[in-house]
């Protein structure tokens, strides 16, 4: 079964609204999780490192006020896309490490209309 789970798998939202994506580690605690963004036929680009109990570390060029990351527990990190616009439409995927093995969530498709 899945070791890292993402929800929702698909989400459509209206332009200007906010949408939250969850990333859960199942049966293990993850003090650090990672959020990636992937455009069609392109690579995974690291957006930020989610740190449990502290602020996320964002990669250069990623707007931290637009992509809010919260890691309030050892098994849950959330990515909130605020004031979403059509250009935010993408595939978002998270990962977490357990016993030196990296596990990916199933990913979340976001479409902003």
Partner 1 sequence: AQTVTQSQPEMSVQEAETVTLSCTYDTSESDYYLFWYKQPPSRQMILVIRQEAYKQQNATENRFSVNFQKAAKSFSLKISDSQLGDAAMYFCAYRSAGSGNTGKLIFGQGTTLQVKP
**Residue of the chain from 19, 93, 110, 112 that contacts partner 1 (CB under 8 A):** 93
* Alpha-carbon gap, residue 110 to 54, rounded angstroms: 26
Told to check if 29 binds partner 1 by CB under 8 A, we report: no
35 counts as binding partner 1 under rule CB under 8 A: no
Q: In this structure, is the dihedral angle defined by the CA atoms of residues 55, 61, 65 and 67, taken in order, positive or negative?
A: negative
**Pairing, β 90-98 against β 32-38:** antiparallel
Beta strands in 26-61 (DSSP E): 32-38, 44-51, 57-58
- CB contact at 8 A, 32 and 26: no
Nearer to partner 1, 82 or 111 (CB): 111
Stretch 59-88: interaction string toward partner 1, x if CB under 8 A: ------------------------------
Q: If binding is defined by CB under 8 A, does position 23 make contact with partner 1?
A: no
107 interacts with partner 1 by CB under 8 A: yes
Distance between CA 77 and CA 26 in Å, rounded? Answer: 12
Residues forming contacts to partner 1 in the complex (CB under 8 A) are 31-32, 34, 38, 41-46, 49, 91, 93, 95-97, 101-102, 104, 106-107
């Amino acid at each position: 079964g899945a070791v890292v789970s993402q929800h929702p798998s698909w989400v459509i939202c209206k332009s200007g609204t906010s949408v939250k994506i969850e990333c859960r580690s199942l049966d293990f605690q993850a003090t650090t999780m990672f959020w990636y963004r992937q455009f069609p036929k392109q690579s995974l680009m690291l957006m930020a490192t989610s740190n449990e109990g502290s602020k996320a570390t964002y990669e250069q060029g990623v707007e931290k006020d637009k992509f809010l990351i919260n890691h309030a527990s050892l098994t849950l990190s959330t990515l909130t896309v605020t004031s979403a616009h059509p250009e935010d439409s993408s595939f978002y995927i998270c990962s977490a490490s357990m016993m030196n093995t990296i596990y990916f969530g199933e990913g979340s498709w976001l479409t902003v209309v």
